[in-house]
Structure 1
């Protein structure tokens, strides 16, 4: 499958597919919920968390994509080569986080259909899950996934442009507090970084490149093109949603705690804006369902030879179907996991320093990366700074949480 995929798509096309898969996974229903929740709580000061998130995103994605592509190995295989058994621990952390996020993803898509057409969220989730399964099972599935994600990304950006156009955006307050916050909330930082960079999201692009046959030191330019494009798209959407939320909050509106993201659109543009929110939520849910499913299932692949790889590929379709069906079933019987989305974002924020540290150690091992490769010092230095900062922020968060 990999060889066929590599022949059909150019490395640049694969890189753009990886870029949008990562970007759209990073701005799913969890991000909408987290951003609306913290904007309502912190106002303009949440801009600082958005800024930190973008900086961390650049460092994390450039490091992880590069290490995976140069080595030609998935993250869990690299982890096992760093220390035997470490890859299995990483798989457990990533897959569990991805699975719980996917409950929110299919639920978000279901809620989007509920807003648009009045379908119950549960039945909407069933429809969204069925569409996701069909996309994965069609011939040349990854090309279809790439095109679907790119189309839905255009919808997201267009909706946010409209919402910003009909609101009075407080740009000065946003910029001032982003660089000089009057209050710093470590829980918001860990949650937003975890929900948009941590867990499966930071590996989705690198694993998509490998899936498309893009690997080796000579493919670094495609790493940079894909990672920076994805980071740029995700960052624009993050900033736009934050500004829309801030405009609504500063006008005196109180966001509905049960659905804070919907409040932003309804308060900004009335019932028409609420319908737009439904379309945005549907797009966010679908793109994140595709991204979390692909990446989480890719962490179950430990193959290192062509023969064993073919054996894994025979079971992959079943794993994809099971992943989507189980997460949809939990949403169907339990309901809207809005609080779960915020909590899992924080969990992924705690996973991030562990996962990044493992790959940074791998980057310095010649037997893994090759004798001729040298990982850029600035990426190593800033990567370890992120590990220390996120570990510190994670510990601060745990110590201040009220259970």
Structure 2
């Protein structure tokens, strides 16, 4: 079978004889690309809006979502290293050709839905920073896929480094803004304690479901199972595979911890500045304007706060573009064994993703609020695709024929993951129902 992402598979050096921390640095990278999906523009709206409406209460939900993501991503990395295949390839083997094709369509829709969010975020950021019309901003995002291809020529490590710089930019921007907002530390600590209102209050529950739905991205499971194979560990040695799984898990957990802090910072910023103000922060433009006129805007400079927000939004959109295009290639090759030139694959995927945005721009004459409504529908697609990605992952990592006796899930991991899957499926069905109900 064709290697997953053959152009980068087994290309990044890894010295098994090196000291622990040097080996860890060699394995740093895949987790960065995975973490991008957990701090994309879709998360921003949900987290900041949740903080503005309900204070710090939903920090507990972010914590649980992040821990769940760590478990699922560690299983994805384990699958890729132990089997030598990605999740799409394994799913194709476990099911019929027809079912695999249907699954591919759904996952592709989920990737495109994610791509739409990044396109909207990037276009709005360009509009806020440089005054570019939204139509032109969307058109520019079609071209950034070629930038990815150019970087790929210099090695996969360069992509990981660029993603790391962009993530650091996002983190430090929001850390700066939160520190200037001077949130109440005791209230923050209390927010990590579960509150019964999360279940009993319909509004809080809906926002909590939105955070969960926006946090765990199905395409990340396919992405992670593939890119961990970029390292040059010994594919024939059980000890070497075990070591690779160990470092891949550490890498993933560290990067997802950073994503956890970013999402917490977003919610804390929303709570510290806007809780109790009755401001509607469900759109990027509203967030931008609110930061400009906020209390810390008068202290630090409203233009500084809002500009930094736009810079972080642009960085987030570009980061997610990289991971989305890689995920698209993985699922196409894995599910339907279709290989095309990378530039064609990425250009077509992005062109399809921007089409509904262009249509929306034409219909609503570039109305920012109407454009951002597309984000709601992207979350529905992600919710549908999530169980179709998690269930095959669980079946595969519990299968000795695929994983080998040494690498199947420990019993506690299997039980926890199945319970998590059931809960996520129920919550996502409820989220879909609630989302549809708001339009009727």
TM-score normalized with structure 1 length: 0.88
Tell me, in whole angstroms, the C-alpha distance in 1 between the residues paired with 2:133 and 2:66: 35
64, 69, 73: which one aligns with 2:81: 69
Q: In the alignment, which residue of structure 2 is the partner of 1:301? A: 333
State the 1:294 CA deviation: 1.0
Q: Deviations over 1:259-306 (max 9, x none)?
A: 3442553324222211111101100110011111111221001389xx
Q: Which residue of 1 aligns with 2:208?
A: 189
- Segment drifting more, 20-29 vs 246-255: 246-255
User: Structure 2 regions of 5+ residues with no counterpart?
Assistant: 15-22, 199-203, 236-240, 362-367
Q: Deviations over 1:24-82 (max 9, x none)?
A: 22211111122223333333332232122112112211122212321111112211222
Q: How does 1:30-41 map to 2 (within 5 A)?
A: 30-41=42-53
CA distance in structure 2 between the partners assigned to 1:285 and 1:127 by the alignment: 12
Find the aligned partners of 1:71 and 1:393 in 2 and give their Cα distance. Answer: 31
Match of 2:375? 341
Query: Among residues 232, 253, 259, which one is paired with 2:257 in the alignment?
Result: 232
Runs of 4+ off more than 6 Å: none
Q: 1:173 aligns with which of 187, 193, 200?
A: 187
Please say if residues 350 and 394 of structure 1, whose CA atoms lie closer than 8 Å, have aligned partners that are also in contact.
Answer: yes
Q: Which runs of 5+ in 1 are unaligned?
A: none
Would you say how many aligned residue pairs link Structure 1 and Structure 2? 397
Asked whether the 8 Å contact 2:31–2:252 carries over to 1, the reply is yes
Q: Which residue of 2 aligns with 1:57?
A: 69
**TM-score, with structure 2 as normaliser:** 0.81
Q: Which residue of 2 aligns with 1:117?
A: 130
Instruction: Give the Cα–Cα distance (whole angstroms) in 2 for the partners of residues 394 and 135 of structure 1.
Output: 33
Deviation of 1:141 (Å): 5.3
Tell me if structure 1 keeps the 8 A contact 2:383–2:432.
no
Between the aligned partners of 1:215 and 1:36, the Cα distance in structure 2 is: 44
Tell me the alpha carbon deviations over residues 290-347 of structure 1, each in whole angstroms, 9 at most, x when there is no partner: 111111221001389xxx8xx82x5232101111233234323424542332342344
Query: Aligned runs of 1:1-400 on 2, under 5 Å?
Result: 2=6, 6-10=10-14, 15-85=27-97, 86-138=99-151, 139-140=153-154, 142-184=156-198, 185-212=204-231, 217-218=241-242, 219-250=244-275, 252=277, 254-259=279-284, 260-263=286-289, 265-266=291-292, 267=294, 268-269=296-297, 270-302=302-334, 312=339, 314-335=340-361, 337-400=371-434
CA RMSD of aligned residues (A): 2.7
Measured after TM superposition, the shift of residue 167 of structure 1 is: 0.5
- Using a 3 Å threshold, how does the CA distance of structure 1 residues 115 and 46 change in structure 2: closer, same or farther? same
Distance 2:10 2:62 in 1: 36
> In 2, Cα distance between the equivalents of 1:362 and 1:356?
10
